[in-house]
């Protein structure tokens, strides 16, 4: 009987610890994902040093941008769900897959254009010093975004060697 009590106590302890871990882990991820647009906005505003007039012009446009981006992302997610739900169908028309892929690419294109015009708006609100800082931030972000892109190397293959140095 004494051995069973120890097992039960240990089991209850593990359940409580796992519950605590999951609550903290899941709660942090939800909080981080919901605050991401706000953090990006705050980062840009802080780094560029927008004054009150610039902020007054920026805030409503930024809110509209984020609403549109959310709608486009939702549309893309729904179209992809529709596309990949076709995997279980026994017969799939190529034209259906093609049309869904085209719709997804059109939404992605809209999203990229919206990002471009949003950045263009920020640049137009900025003074010359802020424009230089903004350009630097964008270039750094683009360089960081390219890291890790592309498929991983195949089994047994490494990365390409660097090109030989020229003298």
Report the distance separating Cα 19 and Cα 87, nearest Å: 35
Report the distance separating Cα 50 and Cα 122, nearest Å: 10
- Give 146 or 24, the one with higher predicted confidence: 24
Question: pLDDT tens for residues 64-92?
Answer: 999 999 999 999 999 999 999 998 888 98
Which residues lie closer than 8 Å to 70 by C-beta, 6 or more apart? none
Helix%, strand%, coil% for the chain, nearest 5: 80, 0, 20
- Please report the pLDDT score of residue 121 as a whole number: 93
- State the number of CA atoms in the 13 A half-sphere of 92 facing the CB: 15
- Please report the pLDDT score of residue 113 as a whole number: 95
Question: pLDDT tens for residues 99-157?
Answer: 999 999 999 999 999 999 999 999 999 999 999 999 998 888 888 766 655 555 555 55
**pTM for the predicted model, two decimal places:** 0.63
């Amino acid at each position: 009987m004494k051995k069973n009590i120890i097992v039960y106590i240990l089991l209850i302890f593990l359940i409580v610890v796992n519950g605590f871990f999951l609550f903290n882990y899941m709660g942090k991820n939800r909080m981080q994902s919901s605050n991401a647009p706000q953090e990006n906005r705050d980062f840009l505003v802080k780094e560029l040093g927008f004054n009150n007039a610039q902020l007054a012009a920026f805030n409503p446009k930024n809110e509209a941008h984020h609403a549109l981006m959310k709608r486009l992302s939702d549309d893309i997610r729904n179209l992809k769900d529709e596309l990949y739900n076709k995997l279980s169908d026994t017969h799939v028309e190529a034209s259906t897959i093609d049309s869904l892929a085209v719709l997804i690419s059109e939404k992605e294109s809209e999203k990229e254009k919206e990002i471009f015009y949003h950045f263009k708006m920020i640049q137009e609100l900025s003074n010359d010093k802020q424009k230089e800082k903004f350009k630097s931030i964008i270039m750094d972000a683009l360089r960081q975004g390219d890291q890790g892109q592309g498929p991983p190397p195949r089994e047994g293959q490494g990365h390409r060697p660097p090109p030989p140095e020229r003298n």
